[in-house]
Structure 1
Amino acid sequence: MNDVPLSVLFGILALLIVLSGFFSSSETGMMSLNRYRLRHLAKSKHKGAVRSVKLLEKPDRMIGTILTGNNLVNFAAAALATIISQRLWPDNPDLAVFVNTILFTLIVLIFAELTPKTLAAIAPEKIAFPASSILLWLQWALHPAVWFVNTIANWLLKLVRVDVANATPDNLSTEELRTVVREAGSMIPKRHQHMLISILDLEKMTVNDIMVPRNEVVGIDLDDPLSDIIQQLRTTQHTRLPVFRGDINNVVGVLHTRNISRFLSSGEYLKEDIEKLSREPYFIPESTPLHTQLFNFQKYQRRIALVVDEYGDVHGICTLEDILEEIVGEFTTDVAAASSPDVHPQEDGSFIIDGTAFVRDVNKSMHWELPIDGPKSVSGLIVEYLEHIPESPVCLRIGRYRIEIMQIKDNTIRSAKVTIDPNIRDDD
């Protein structure tokens, strides 16, 4: 080795440092790849992605190959650096060792570790895909050594009850998927992000959260005078109406107003015709998750269902439109709701809210954060916090919302005034 020129030794050392940088960047690049994007590219027959997927199928073998190659070149570089330092300072071996240790450590740290690994972490695909072809060849060439090393390493891992064969899968939980959608940025438009998150939220919501309550259900009472029923059918804004006798618990069916239009035009109209043209009612439990009910609407080809409690009493109705609006937002115009909104802004910055309004709807329209894990209506929310039905107007505070009861009738809070305190956050 003493006969080899220093220029050649420096050239070999530089090559070894480059190889060390290659192994370091390959390891970081392969482990930093987005597994979901990688699978997508592999399905598209991207050669680099296909090779990377093959390597990542057995991460212990891939890491063993990289570390074996990296340690070989690092030890060779260290030995060569020692020889060079001894050639440069033959009369002072202590200085040679000191300079070699400090200088070689800095060079390896900068050029073989920090720089290549940072580059690979920033652009993993640009590093990992080209390197995958070399790694596959090295994995084959170094197979005996890698097998021996991996066998010992896997045996040690089994001692601490780690099974390499059953690695943690890359499956995402619902909350993790929700985070991915939110952090997609400009890749997914804001409206589409909202729709995707709303679909995930269907699992946490039940029919009871969005149903039209019983006292707001519009239907045909066959006990009413025929003239009133005809007038109701001529002016109704709804396509489907529950048909009942006296009380909605005595429902006989659901009428599609299209089926009765010919009787309205001809004047030949009887209550028996309404009952005959009504479709058998479809009942669902109030605890049915929304994603399940959406599937059931499709399965049974229904668009409206009567929501019942555990005793079989009707609590309200749920429609396919109600569920779809939870995903895409309001897409129809309710004339009645437009003329009498639930939230009435006041000049002083406060809001008058109808007691029958759904808390979830108020939160959605006003971007508020009133509690939704309890009662569904504003009236119910206030009563729950007071723990009694007030006999006279009182005030209370829920988070940053100061609520003043305005009107009470029939043991129900008909309206309340809400003022927001800007100095208090919702989580205070």
Structure 2
Amino acid sequence: MSFFQSMIIVIFLIVGGGYLALAEIALAGARKVKLKILAEAGDERAKKVLDIQEQSADFFAASQIGLNAAAILGGIVGEPAFRELSLRILNHFFEGAWIENAAFGLSFLFVTLAFILFADFMPKRLAMIAPEKIAMSVIKPTLIYIKICKPLAWIINSITNFLFRIFKVNTIREDNITFDDIAAVMEAGAQAGVLLKQEHHFIENVFELEERTVPSSMTTRENVIFFTLNESEESIRQKLAEYPFSKFLVCNENIDQVIGYVDAKDILVRILNNQKINQLNESTIRTVLTIPDTLTLSEVLDRFRASKEKFAVVINEYAWVVGVISLSDVMSTVMGDWVTPMDEEQQIIKRDNSSWLIEGSTPIEDMKHSLDIDEMPDEENYETVAGFMMYKLRKVPRPADFVEFNGFKFEVVDVDHYKIDQLLVTRIMVDIPLLPKETIEEKEN
């Protein structure tokens, strides 16, 4: 066989091996989410790629047959041809018995590098750039190649499956998408500039609705403003002026005897019509939605949607009222400052780069966002920063009590009737230990 014929065969084998390497990485790396979108849009090639991914054993067996055959044949054909060429070149410059071995080494190195570079490394890097696009481009020739290699691929798969069964290896691939997977995609999108910082924050908050419970966003019991059936007109007017809420609970005698709620607009209409506003009756009082405090915010949204209500009373296992929650409260969890009134008192105030003043009622998720903390210990046991302090201290906190966690010091600043009003959170500065005097002198010497 002439050198020219050997070169043609080697080039053909390199091209074939490069195609198989390109197809292998593209088909394995193509993302199912994108392929499903393309398939639903009517692209038959995307559907075929998905089918191969579901039954990938035949393709990978055929691919390995081709890749190994190309590499072995390339060595058989290429090594003698390049060895003869190397020998001729070396004989022009050198003499000695070692030239034969040197020519063999050079030919082996050249053929190996050619296959690594053009039949493996470069095709795989190209496939990783746009795996979905390349996978759909090569799918039709690949299906033909799989049919040609199917008998031999079946034998290889049968042996492989037998060995896997002996060693009890589970070959079923799990493609379940977790929140961590989605979070990683969002993070990558934010870093690439596809998602704005605010958009990234919104999406994260939407997923948190499945984890955060009602107490993290509700108005707590001590802050609920309500009317009683025997409330005087002057008292009602004073509460309307002092607390600009849109809805107020109506109770019999105390907050645990809830009858319903009134809309501030209805009371204002009565005022405009010169009617008495302290005569709360069935025409004014509306039925209030009652929900347990164990619901997640996502479940609360479902309750609001089903009942077509935007306001609910939250009760605990003893049927005591622990707070109220509105649709606006849930949305403020997602949208943050975009739906929160600007004059509302801030729960987290940043004093400088290493200290914050935080209200005890601040939801733990909000604090994690502000301090850039990934995870708090045993989060299922509390909802607020005050709850975190009580859980860690194992007692009712007093001023100056503190907890150190994750490089931060959480110190109680103000307590009102056993309730933590405010904490000072500071970043703990790591002190550099001073060397003993003797050690310093030794280094100087």
**Could you tell me how far 1:408 is from its partner in structure 2?**
4.1
Of residues 270, 280, 299, the one that matches 1:292 is 299
Q: In the alignment, which of 278, 281, 286 is matched to residue 279 of structure 1?
A: 286
Name the stretch that deviates more: 295-304 or 8-17. 8-17
Match of 1:264 in 2: 271
Cα distance in structure 2, aligned partners of 1:301 and 1:156: 59
Instruction: Tell me the amino acid that sits aligned with residue 12 of structure 2.
Output: L
CA separation of 1:263 and 1:361: change in aligned 2, threshold 3 A: farther
- Between the aligned partners of 1:224 and 1:54, the Cα distance in structure 2 is 70
Instruction: Determine which of 405, 410, 421 is the counterpart of 2:417.
Output: 410
Amino acid at match of 1:257: A
182, 187, 193: which one pairs with 2:194? 187
Structure 1 segment 79-228 matched on structure 2, within 5 A: 79-84=76-81, 98-125=105-132, 127-162=134-169, 167-185=172-190, 186-228=193-235
Give the deviation of 1:268 after TM superposition. 2.3
Q: CA deviation at 1:161?
A: 3.2
Please report how far the alpha carbon of residue 310 of structure 1 lies from its aligned counterpart in structure 2 after TM superposition.
Answer: 0.8
* Number of equivalences: 415
For 2:40, give the aligned amino acid.
K
Q: Please state whether the residue corresponding to 1:155 is helix, strand or coil.
A: helix
Equivalent position to 1:423, from 426, 429, 437: 429
SS across alignment from 1:420: strand
Shift of residue 288 of structure 1? 0.8
Shift, 1:323, TM fit: 1.2
Q: Which moved more, 1:403-412 or 1:201-210?
A: 403-412
8 A contact 1:178–1:200 mirrored in 2: no
Q: CA deviation at 1:96?
A: 6.7
Matches within 5 A, 1:7-18: 7-18=4-15
Q: Is the 8 A contact 2:230 2:278 kept in 1?
A: no
For the 8 Å contact 1:120–1:127, the answer to whether it is kept is yes
* C-alpha distance after superposition, 1:278-327 (max 9, x if no partner): 12222111111111111111111111111111111111111111111111
SS in 1 for 2:259: strand
Please tell me whether the aligned partners of residues 242 and 254 of structure 1 are also in contact (alpha carbons under 8 angstroms): yes
Question: 1: distance between equivalents of 2:161 and 2:225?
Answer: 68
CA 1:103–1:270 in 2, change beyond 3 Å: closer, same or farther?
Answer: closer
Write the distance in 2 (CA, Å) between the matches of 1:124 and 1:306.
52
Query: 1:312 is paired with a residue of what secondary structure?
Result: coil
| TM-score (structure 1 length as normaliser) | 0.83
The alignment's TM-score, normalised by the length of structure 2, stands at 0.80
Q: Is the 8 A contact 1:66 1:135 kept in 2?
A: no
Q: Specify the alignment match of 1:241 in structure 2.
A: 248
- Deviations, residues 8-62 of structure 1 (Å, cap 9, x unaligned): 2222222112212221222122212222222222333345434422332310111
Which residue is equivalent to 2:20?
23
CA-CA distance at 1:389 after TM superposition: 3.8
On the 8 A contact 2:393/2:403 being kept in 1, the answer is no
Alignment RMSD:
3.5
Which aligned pairs between 1:352-371 and structure 2 lie closer than 5 A?
353-355=358-360, 357-360=361-364, 363=367, 366-367=370-371, 369=373
Is the contact made by 1:28 and 1:121 (CA closer than 8 Å) also made in structure 2?
yes
Compared CA separation, residues 246 and 152, structure 1 to 2 (3 A):
same
Hey, what's the Cα distance between the residues in 2 that align with 1:306 and 1:358? 20
Does structure 2 retain, via aligned residues, the 8 Å contact 1:260–1:274? no
The whole-number CA distance in structure 2 between the counterparts of 1:69 and 1:51 is: 21
Secondary structure of residue in 2 paired with 1:205: coil
Bigger shift: residues 221-230 or 209-218: 221-230
Q: Is the 8 A contact 1:230 1:264 kept in 2?
A: no
- 8 Å CA contact 1:243–1:275 kept in 2: the answer is no
1:290-329 map, 5 Å? 290-329=297-336
Which secondary structure state, in structure 2, belongs to the residue aligned with residue 184 of structure 1?
helix
Describe the shift of the 1:203–1:7 C-alpha distance in structure 2 as closer, same or farther (beyond 3 A): same
Instruction: Tell me, in whole angstroms, the C-alpha distance in 2 between the residues paired with 1:125 and 1:159.
Output: 35
Deviations 1:76-99 (A, max 9, x none): 323322553686679998777555
**C-alpha distance in structure 1 between counterparts of 2:150 and 2:276, whole Å:** 87
Range moving further from structure 2, 112-121 or 271-280 = 271-280
Q: Counterpart of 2:51?
A: 54
For residues 233 and 137 of structure 2, what CA distance do their matches in structure 1 show? Answer: 80
CA distance in 1, matches of 2:219, 2:261: 15
Q: Distance in 2 between matches of 1:19 and 1:380?
A: 65
Distance 2:354 2:215 in 1: 32
For structure 2, the residue ranges without an aligned partner over 5 or more in a row are 89-96, 432-445
Aligned to 1:77: 74
Cα distance change on mapping 1:261 and 1:95 into 2, 3 Å: closer
